[in-house]
Amino acid sequence: MMSKPIFIRNASQLVTLQGSSHAPLVKEAMSELGIIENGSVWVENGVIFDVGKDDELFEKYKDRLDEAEMVDASGRLVTPGLVDPHTHLVFAGSRENEFNMRLQGATYMEIMNSGGGIHATTRRTKGASHEALFQESFERLNQFLLHGVTTVEAKSGYGMEWETELKQLEVANLLNEKHAIDVVPTFMGAHAVPKEYKENPDEFVELLITEMIPKVAKLGLAEFNDVFCEHGVFTPEQSKRILEAGRNHGLMPKIHADEIEPYEGAELAAEIGAISADHLLRASEKGMKAMAEKGVVGVLLPGTAYFLMAESANGRKMIDLGVPIALSTDCNPGSSPTVSLPFIMNLGCLKMGMTPAEVITAATINAAHAINRGQEIGSLEVGKKADITMFSVDNYMKLQYSYGVNHTHTVMKDGRVVVRGGQLIEELSLSKN
């Protein structure tokens, strides 16, 4: 059945990012937003059909106006739907007690090594039913949608044994089927070394390589394979083996790199041809340059550094060196319990030296490339999915200037308006069809 055309009209600024589908933007190109003042978009059957000045599109489609649904964007900023390329969406419970411990001086690794951290969430997630995990994660997706996000990546990793990893990935795939937001699954069995393997981590690495990764690939449960390459977790050598095993089974490599101390994670990402290297708070200049040379997207997570009271990654330096930068919430219960990608964009400016234009690029087209979706989403171009977010500000700089505020007014997903006036349209927002 053909859907009714939608005509988004008179945007104060229409951020198109046209011409960016083939590769992530770098250096000065990250500031080239392709803005159309008083811009409009014509949508048909869930796809962007035309983009341009309002008067030009009005004249072009004047004989079809009666059949179209009109969406008034007057005085508002319209951008591609926001893309979050690094989340731990599917988990049970919360860890507010650890927040209090950190305020009293405990470090992230001290908490994890004492049985908290990832291990605490693992216990809760293991004990949760499929239904409970689905419902809790579904509600998080609703909140992402209300903040203008139309696609998220979702990692497993709160099991580190087959049954719970399988449960997380099954829930992520079901969420993708049932929720309006697109959910892109990543296998992260290598999130930490389980306690029972603490004295022999190579045995767990072998289990990942010979049993878990082949099963994930055979069942088609994930697109990516991720590993936490960090001192006290997985060494660069172990990480390389895990990522190569995933690639041999058709899973694209991602890597948690250089988060807590320099550990050659960025270098490994470039060497192995990872689609992205994430965190990078302590990445070396050598690693940054290697990533730039190989086109590895640096997914930066300033909310995590903010919540852990740590210094943020050097986004300014990475951009200047030519690393394509994306931004993400790192939504998780321990180090970044937020769904607000707009706030993360604010932090990109305030804590990492990025410009208002660069953070929009980082949360749209570059984020799309970080999850292999640059040809489908992330820019407002003919033929792409009609994933569109409208903000209650009249220019893109004001979106960052007025920080910590959710300015999301309207969200369109696959050509359907699913948020209007900052409120979910429940019969649409909470389903794919």
> What's the pLDDT at 107?
86
> What's the pLDDT at 431?
66
What span, in angstroms and rounded, lies between the C-alpha atoms of 107 and 95?
14
Buried b (16+ CB within 10 A) or exposed e, 156-182: bbbbbeeebbbbbbbbbbbbbebbbbb
What span, in angstroms and rounded, lies between the C-alpha atoms of 214 and 234?
20
User: What are the tens digits of pLDDT across the range 229-250?
Assistant: 999 999 999 999 999 999 999 9
What span, in angstroms and rounded, lies between the C-alpha atoms of 96 and 383?
44
Tens-level pLDDT at each residue, the chain (433 residues): 568 999 999 999 999 999 999 999 999 999 999 999 999 999 999 999 999 999 999 999 999 999 999 999 999 999 999 999 999 999 999 999 998 888 999 987 888 788 788 888 999 999 999 999 999 999 999 999 999 999 999 999 999 999 999 999 999 999 999 999 999 999 999 999 998 999 999 999 999 999 999 999 999 999 999 999 999 999 999 999 999 999 999 999 999 999 999 999 999 999 999 999 999 999 999 999 999 999 999 999 999 999 999 999 999 999 999 999 999 999 999 999 999 999 999 999 999 999 999 999 999 999 999 999 999 999 999 999 999 999 999 999 999 999 999 999 999 999 999 999 999 997 655 667 6
Tokens for 166? Answer: 């399988």
> What's the pLDDT at 187?
98
Angle in degrees, 0-180, between the axes of helices 265-272 and 236-248, rounded to the nearest 10: 30
Buried b (16+ CB within 10 A) or exposed e, 83-94: bbbbbbbbbbee
> What's the pLDDT at 237?
98
